[in-house]
Amino acid sequence: MAKMENLIEKRFKSVEEKYREELDLVSEALGKPCIILHVQLPEGCEEYKELFEKLPEDEVFMAELQEFVRQALKKRAGKLLQERNQG
């Protein structure tokens, strides 16, 4: 069983690397930066696995995530600006 899991994991990593390369090329061509994050199901949320796996297709969740990223970027940019002005 462990051999099978290792084989699947290696295959997945290979496909994932190719996908990232292609995505980078497309993003570069479109001119809009993109990052890919892998988020594991948080500990203690095992009963929500099915819901968790559907989040990437959930438009409301993706909009909320985009707003979170926007706020986090502004907050970090503000901190960097403060640090530069003080130093």
pTM for the structure as a whole: 0.58
| C-alpha dist (Å) from residue 77 to 34, 50, 64, 67, 86 | 18, 36, 20, 15, 14
Residue 76: which pLDDT band, with cuts at 50, 70 and 90? Answer: very high
pLDDT mean over 23-28: 77
The pLDDT score that the predictor gives to residue 49 is 96
Q: How far is CA 65 from CA 9, 42, 46, in A?
A: 28, 16, 21
pLDDT digits (tens, 9 = 90+) for 26-72: 777 777 787 888 999 999 999 999 999 999 999 999 999 999 999 99
* Gap between the Cα atoms of 52 and 45, Å rounded: 9
What is the per-residue pLDDT for 62?
A: 94
More confident residue, 49 or 7: 49
CA dist 32 and 26 (Å) reads 9
